[in-house]
A and B are shown apart, each in its own frame.
Chain A
């Protein structure tokens, strides 16, 4: 949230058990002015078109249809516009009235629809991410939208638009606490404390703007303008110069979306996961619980190399792939950051790097080339396939993740935790066969990161293909439970663990503390009727999500 002065700030908020429904019939509605906030664009559009017609009519005088009959039709026009506005408003009010939600111990349910009723239900422990979004107008009213994401690649399972900001935050804390497996005793709600949060990183507006100006968009602009000028000069005509206008508009749009999504970017860590906030006019707070990040991509465009900046993107099952700017912003873990910032955030995503020299290995992945720090590159005999990037192409395996390095001009590094690999494929075409190399693809959930080890020696590729399958299976067996705090030590849950960092060996083990293996009794007992089922429910990992009677 950019509003620093706003009380309460969007900081840690205690889970509030009173938000959980106690009976099947206890339903809530979203805030009463939501229809206005949701419908204002429609109203504005009507006002704009109607107003423009009238306005132009006044300017042109008798020619306009609205005034052509000497003012006779003017009252009708106004009446029709008013009627449409009322109809739209009534529509939004009805939709508000018929939308009700309920959060129980295990599920979140939403009933909506006036004519076509829709009942939706999602399991809390299947949460992949929770967003609290404040579009500009909602911010004016102090409202926020809560988005509950499950692994169905794109569409939000549950959207509550709009709640009071404080309510949305408390609801988020409650849902995350429940999803983490912390149960709340309605008698003594004070027993459960807020999940503390520690800020890890904040971006200065100066860096956001500078990074935008040095981004790939600028390179595109330079090449575009150069092409246009060359055309104009060789053809000796001014016509190609007209292309500059759409080009400039596109570039300005790119700059704007990059600045507004990087503005006031802050990342924090809490036991509930990684939390990022950003936004200039619309603000967004995203929480990704531990273990929900499927793959991390680190990239560097050519101009950023001069400043040593990187960008981090993530694949999260609930976010999906949409090409819109919003979706891209959602999948961005760090819009711009130095190597240290990247390492810091990597330490949050991958608390155990699985190597004794994480800084060396990740740095080699980000900016190195050739076979250093455990990286294996394209064999020399295949250098003609990729004359520039063959020394960059490569991979390294640690105990917990696979690092995939590629790109000469646009440097890229993909990090995939072993337990998140879905399936693997080896590809080899005729040219690759001639050079004895192959590509190895790792399939992850939809997102901006698509890990592909390029042009690796075919025997190495096959060995990795085989070993990676074994490693992934092993890592899955060892991986943390879906409910990341269950069972949990109350002290560990409420005390903030130190922020993990690769440069400090002691704190590297820390994030495991709050996952605890302890089974000793304590006030907060996770009581789940079917603990085994909850963790290892066979078929419903994806299928269960927005199920119910859709």
Chain B
């Protein structure tokens, strides 16, 4: 993983499963197709003469093209975004980092966790993945790790719960 300026020194990030990239790309393909279909409607209507004159032909062409450019750009970013997701278990806390342009590094002390969620959706299940979410008493703690292999997710959940119990303090 590339080292970013806000990354801590001497820390080995664990990466999420490479299969998660496939899941994200699948989602991206579906999203792109839907977006393109929606933004092509004016073009189709203009070309088939259902609507004439409005919107102007160049606008009708521009819409799907801009959509396509945005979607392709997001598609190019996905591998980097997936590679940017990392987590590290330390003695007292769990570190999670995400983001390529807008980077975020979060630390959740084990003693602050109220509960741990493990969620598996149908597509995740097909790839043997799961996502894990930590909850503290603060709604601002948006600490989730997507795309974990199933057994790693289970291990992490057990590990976090055990450490949380050992370290738990009041609010």
Interface residues of A (CB under 8 A from B): 128, 151, 153, 291-292, 294, 317, 419-430, 433, 436, 438, 441, 443-446, 450, 458, 461-462, 465-466, 469-470, 472-473, 476-477, 479, 482, 535-536, 538-539, 541-543
CB-based contact A465/B107 at 8 Å: yes
**Docked pose: A542 CA to B4 CA in angstroms:** 36
Q: How far is the CA of A445 from the CA of B109 in the complex (A)?
A: 15
CB pair B8 A466 closer than 8 Å: yes
**Considering the chains assembled together, what is the distance between the CA atoms of A445 and B93 in angstroms?**
19
Measured between beta carbons, the chain A residues less than 8 angstroms from B153 are none
- In the complex, chain B residues whose CB is within 8 Å of the CB of A424: 106-107
Q: Is the CB of B170 within 8 A of A450?
A: no
Q: Indicate if the CB atoms of A423 and B143 lie closer than 8 Å.
A: yes
A543 touches B106 (CB 8 A): no
CB distance from A433 to the nearest CB of B (A): 7
B5-17 interface code vs A (CB 8 A; 1 in, 0 out): 1111000000000
Chain A residues near B170 (CB-CB < 8 A) = 291, 479, 482, 535, 541
Q: State which of B70-78, B80-88, B133-141 sits at the interface with chain A.
A: B133-141
Once the chains bind, are A443 and B138 in contact (CB under 8 Å)? yes
- Which of B30-38, B41-49, B51-59, B111-119 binds A? B111-119
A541 touches B171 (CB 8 A): yes
Tell me the complex Cα distance, A469–B169, Å.
Answer: 14
Determine if B109 and A419 form an interchain contact, defined as CB atoms under 8 angstroms apart.
Answer: no
CB pair B137 A469 closer than 8 Å: no
By beta carbon, the residue of chain A nearest B103 is A428
Nearest-neighbor residue (CB-CB) of B108 within chain A: A423
Asked if B164 contacts A538 (CB within 8 A), the reply is yes
Cβ-defined partner of A425 (8 Å) among B105, B114, B115, B171:
B105
* Contacting pair B139 A465 (CB below 8 A): no
Chain A neighbourhood of B6, CB < 8 A? 426, 428, 438, 458, 461-462
Cross-interface CB contact of B105 among A294, A465, A479, cutoff 8 Å? A465
A sample of 14 inter-chain contacts (CB < 8 A) reads A151-B137, A292-B171, A422-B141, A425-B107, A426-B104, A428-B103, A446-B138, A458-B6, A466-B8, A535-B170, A538-B164, A539-B165, A542-B114, A542-B171
Q: Any chain A CB within 8 A of the CB of B158?
A: no
Our pick among A436, A441, A446, A450 for the contact of B5 (Cβ within 8 Å) is A436
Given contacts A291-B170, A423-B106, A425-B106, 18 further A-B contacts (CB under 8 A): A317-B137, A421-B109, A422-B109, A428-B103, A430-B102, A443-B138, A443-B141, A444-B140, A445-B137, A450-B140, A469-B107, A482-B170, A538-B164, A538-B165, A539-B115, A539-B168, A541-B114, A541-B168
Residue of B nearest to A317 (CB): B171
Kindly state the separation between the CA atoms of A538 and B169 in the bound complex, as whole angstroms: 8
Complex Cα spacing A156 to B88, Å: 38
What A residues does B108 contact at CB under 8 A?
Answer: 423
Mark interface residues in B157-170 (1 if CB within 8 Å of A CB, else 0).
00000001101111
Specify the chain B residue showing the minimal Cβ separation from A152: B137
Which residue of chain A has its CB nearest to the CB of B94?
A423
Residue of A nearest to B143 (CB): A423
Enumerate chain A residues within 8 angstroms of B7, measured Cβ to Cβ: 462
Q: In this complex, what residue of A is CB-closest to B164?
A: A538
CB distance from B137 to the nearest CB of A (A): 5
Task: Assess whether B5 is in contact with A469, with CB atoms less than 8 Å apart.
Answer: no
Residue of A nearest to B165 (CB): A538
Which listed residue (B102, B104, B168) contacts A536, Cβ 8 A? Answer: B168
Find chain A residues with CB under 8 A from B151 CB: none
Known: A469-B93, A470-B92, A538-B165. A426 touches B105 (CB 8 A): yes
Contacts A317-B171, A428-B6, A473-B92; is A423 near B139 (CB within 8 Å)? no
**Quick check: B171 and A420 within 8 Å, CB to CB?**
yes
> What chain B residues lie within 8 Å of A450 (beta carbons)?
140
CA distance A536 to B165 in the complex (A): 9
Q: Find the residue from B7, B93, B106, B171 having the highest chain A CB count within 10 A.
A: B171
Which chain A residues border B114 with CB–CB below 8 Å? 541-543
> Contacts A423-B141, A473-B92 known; A538 to B103 CB distance under 8 Å?
no
